[in-house]
Structure 1
């Protein structure tokens, strides 16, 4: 953060507060943010923001309301100049996020978001990483279920291996178990990326590259084919990972974030670090059939949204932007992310990131984004000495691990 950014009237602005996840984040901050943290609600509609504020209880009654459209650069410049940190839930970020990132980098304002869009993150890196480093700004993408469990899970796994002097990370696989729903915003982000890739063959190749978010893809190791859509026998992962595993819907994004963390740290996880993500469908004798079914459904969804006639039908079935899982679905949701590795010395380790009692993509995401923002507001002196367009692990590291543990998440690592 630049010297001119230190004396500002606000600590944190929640941009997109009236959206589905924005409301959850506002509620979380109203209940848990320490006294004295100066928070404002921001968006396009004063009426909607004011109505939201009345639902947040007495701690939020004096929160200011700020108005700025995502496509109005001057309004965004004025907004970010008033605060130390912006947390935004306004997506798809490729449509609505670029001007806000640009304003934050120019003003010396730290930034966190929830993007799971490879092409948006790549554009942000190319446009802003060097200037953000120069300005001492942390632009931290993907501070929700995409991709904090993946990024911090590998972070603590690496720490455990290093503490034991057990070599570097080698073959590493995340196995996701979860229950939750999907929002219209997530579907809209998928549509946006599909549309961009259809128009430009170079963008399709970029999105498909396992190192699409790396600082310099030419310096990455050649580790052979790294597929993000695979049905995998759990026995090939670890003895503890019983049953066949299905493709994980966010693997094609999370894996690139984790690889960026490794590269930004000078390949600290190891030059032979090979990373993938899959999803559990149980360990019965039918698990291979179930895993194949999930792969077919995911492939069919992408294909269906790529073709005009089937997209027309899907658009009327899938949740619309602004819609999301029911209160019951959110309350009954959970996730467990187990990450297994075999190190270069042959030792086996595992880490776990777990949240109970909260839909992973929404209620638990509000916790993760809220604590990411509060890390930047309250714990700057303990954060890694980094600036630029960063990942959760490289920007927030152990500070965020500690905060999430206090918020009720399990984040652990052990030798097997």
Structure 2
């Protein structure tokens, strides 16, 4: 394999393939990989490389990157393609139509295989039919290395390992996926994903027979159960939402990981249930309505034809054949909240946060998996076989790699003194404050997605009056600017002075009121921002509604003011805190 390319991307001319190419171009420069792309038409391959060059700013991709013509209808072309590379990333779907010949070609050419499939029938069929061959040929085959279902699978496995180290016995893990996107200008989902879902649901009856063969042993799951309705409203860390069962491949993939852990590693299996977050009951009603129509139409041929011909109509505009714009993708993000229940009735909260999961995120996830195959092959559970993402990469540094690529896995839930700051209109995570307590408090403020540190606050020791140093990163001058928040007690009010960049502000809270205002000291009638403590904070974690009325100062100044106020008014109370 020494003369082979390191990575080859098949399906490069597709919508998702374009994003995967761009991510590969960036990582090839970083790691020194030799790579190439493959598809049906040579001219289109050159075009997507030129587009990738324009987007990434990396020159000469059209001349430096190998291109290979291959077609799923020509098996020999697939074998020849696979023989050129160590790792193949397959982006050609629907996989139930086009995936199996590519897997067969990889086995024949002894090439490692990765895909971004979210189709349970295909994933489970490949494991059932080709696991033994992959072991014999020492070839690693890993499916579902994108949004479906690496996030859920790797998240659950990371929690399992963490709990094992801390002697917690897990009974159940629930995941709650939230997709955060602005008003899309051209839909949120590409047609290829919709097409795979149509055929997947149409053939869902195949799964029962498949699983009887795949799971020969019955897993001894914990008897600990939580009775849930199909649709329910819940509150996690002060954030309320409706939850509906997640229809993707997450449960199927995680279940396969649990079977592997039990039968191969002698680990206790964990019951897993994924959900999708919905912001309101109206959105639930819409989802149920369109879901019912979708399910009904997949049961007969004419209905399927209608779904495939008019995707926008049957998805309320969420699906288009063009896919979302680059701007829409750049502004989108996700967060998956994991709620872990232990056998001794403890509840742990974790969050997996990242950029647009469908395309930008999927490209980072899949290329990250390819890097692990090349760089950390010795940390895989075996030299060959068909694996889930967690089986293959749960013991590699993939999670650390992803945390450097704009993803964050927040462990052990929200600790005391930590805030999550959401945009109230879109429920998108904007910032997160992470604290370290001692005699004083030090906290860093991170912007999301990407987890970039933008500010910090350090409380100075004072027995009576609150006193803290702050620093904020100024993006215009590319430097840190320092300031201070101090406390005073004039005229029966709780008052704080804020100094920042030669500006002096007043933060004032009157007794028996839930409202605190921030004003300019020289124009005390001019309210810059206002925060209000939610009534639910009497019994639940603290929650604030913050309204900023001016852009004279960075928003993070007001966020640090909220942190200072909250800390000073609860020095002896170490509760979980959410900011909004």
- Scaled by the length of structure 2, the TM-score of the pair is 0.63
The CA RMSD measured in Å over matched residues stands at: 2.8
Question: Compared with structure 1, are the counterparts of its residues 177 and 52 closer, same or farther at alpha carbon in structure 2 (3 Å cutoff)?
Answer: same
Which residue of 1 is the match for residue 292 of structure 2?
A: 299
CA-to-aligned-CA distance 1:161-196 (integer Å, 9 cap, x gap): 1121112x2121101111351111111112222343
2:258 paired residue among 255, 262, 267: 262
Give me the whole-angstrom Cα distance separating, in 2, the residues matched to 1:246 and 1:336.
Answer: 16
Question: Is 1:376 aligned with 2:377?
Answer: no
Matched-pair contact (CA < 8 Å) for 1:246–1:294: no
1:143-222 equivalent positions in 2, closer than 5 A: 143-167=145-169, 169-179=170-180, 181-197=188-204, 203=206, 205-206=208-209, 212=211, 215-221=214-220
Deviation at 1:324, TM superposition (A): 1.4
Give me the whole-angstrom Cα distance separating, in 2, the residues matched to 1:366 and 1:405.
Answer: 15
CA-to-aligned-CA distance 1:356-383 (integer Å, 9 cap, x gap): 3xx2211111111111112212332344
Which residue of 2 is the match for residue 402 of structure 1?
A: 400
Matched-pair contact (CA < 8 Å) for 2:261–2:268: no
Which residue of 2 is the match for residue 330 of structure 1?
A: 329
Matched-pair contact (CA < 8 Å) for 2:7–2:87: yes
CA-to-aligned-CA distance 1:307-358 (integer Å, 9 cap, x gap): 44444443333168963112222112110001111112322222221113xx
Give me the whole-angstrom Cα distance separating, in 2, the residues matched to 1:86 and 1:325.
Answer: 26
Q: Which protein is bigger by CA-based radius of gyration?
A: 2
1:95 paired residue among 91, 94, 97: 97
Question: Compared with structure 1, are the counterparts of its residues 50 and 415 closer, same or farther at alpha carbon in structure 2 (3 Å cutoff)?
Answer: closer
Deviation at 1:90, TM superposition (A): 0.1
Question: Compared with structure 1, are the counterparts of its residues 22 and 127 closer, same or farther at alpha carbon in structure 2 (3 Å cutoff)?
Answer: same
Matched-pair contact (CA < 8 Å) for 2:117–2:143: yes
Which residue of 2 is the match for residue 244 of structure 1?
A: 242
Which residue of 2 is the match for residue 3 of structure 1?
A: none
Give me the whole-angstrom Cα distance separating, in 1, the residues matched to 2:41 and 2:217.
Answer: 45
Deviation at 1:151, TM superposition (A): 0.5
Task: Give structure 1 stretches of 5+ with no counterpart.
Answer: 1-5
Question: Compared with structure 1, are the counterparts of its residues 229 and 192 closer, same or farther at alpha carbon in structure 2 (3 Å cutoff)?
Answer: farther
Question: Is 1:341 aligned with 2:340?
Answer: yes
Deviation at 1:59, TM superposition (A): 5.5
Give me the whole-angstrom Cα distance separating, in 2, the residues matched to 1:40 and 1:213.
Answer: 39
Q: Which moved more, 1:396-405 or 1:45-54?
A: 396-405
Give me the whole-angstrom Cα distance separating, in 2, the residues matched to 1:46 and 1:226.
Answer: 55
Give me the whole-angstrom Cα distance separating, in 2, the residues matched to 1:170 and 1:330.
Answer: 36
CA-to-aligned-CA distance 1:129-153 (integer Å, 9 cap, x gap): 0111122111000000000110111
> What SS class does the counterpart of residue 126 from structure 1 fall into?
helix
> What SS class does the counterpart of residue 355 from structure 1 fall into?
strand
Which residue of 2 is the match for residue 316 of structure 1?
A: 309
> What SS class does the counterpart of residue 135 from structure 2 fall into?
helix
Q: Larger RCO: Structure 1 or Structure 2 (Cα < 8 Å, ≥ 6 residues apart)? A: 1
> What SS class does the counterpart of residue 362 from structure 1 fall into?
helix
Matched-pair contact (CA < 8 Å) for 1:383–1:399: no
Matched-pair contact (CA < 8 Å) for 1:246–1:292: no
Matched-pair contact (CA < 8 Å) for 1:170–1:342: yes
Which residue of 2 is the match for residue 7 of structure 1?
A: 2
Question: Is 1:41 aligned with 2:63?
Answer: no
Task: Give structure 2 stretches of 5+ with no counterpart.
Answer: 54-58, 182-187, 313-318, 415-580
Going by fraction, where is strand more abundant, 1 or 2? Answer: 2
CA-to-aligned-CA distance 1:215-240 (integer Å, 9 cap, x gap): 424333477999999213325xx665
Matched-pair contact (CA < 8 Å) for 1:386–1:394: no
Matched-pair contact (CA < 8 Å) for 2:189–2:320: no
CA-to-aligned-CA distance 1:14-38 (integer Å, 9 cap, x gap): 0000100001110111123225201
Give me the whole-angstrom Cα distance separating, in 2, the residues matched to 1:215 and 1:311.
Answer: 29
- The number of residues matched between the two structures is 392
Give me the whole-angstrom Cα distance separating, in 2, the residues matched to 1:376 and 1:106.
Answer: 18
Matched-pair contact (CA < 8 Å) for 1:85–1:373: yes
Question: Is 1:86 aligned with 2:88?
Answer: yes
Q: Which moved more, 1:27-36 or 1:115-124?
A: 27-36
Going by fraction, where is helix more abundant, 1 or 2? Answer: 1
Give me the whole-angstrom Cα distance separating, in 2, the residues matched to 1:295 and 1:392.
Answer: 31
Give me the whole-angstrom Cα distance separating, in 1, the residues matched to 2:303 and 2:214.
Answer: 37
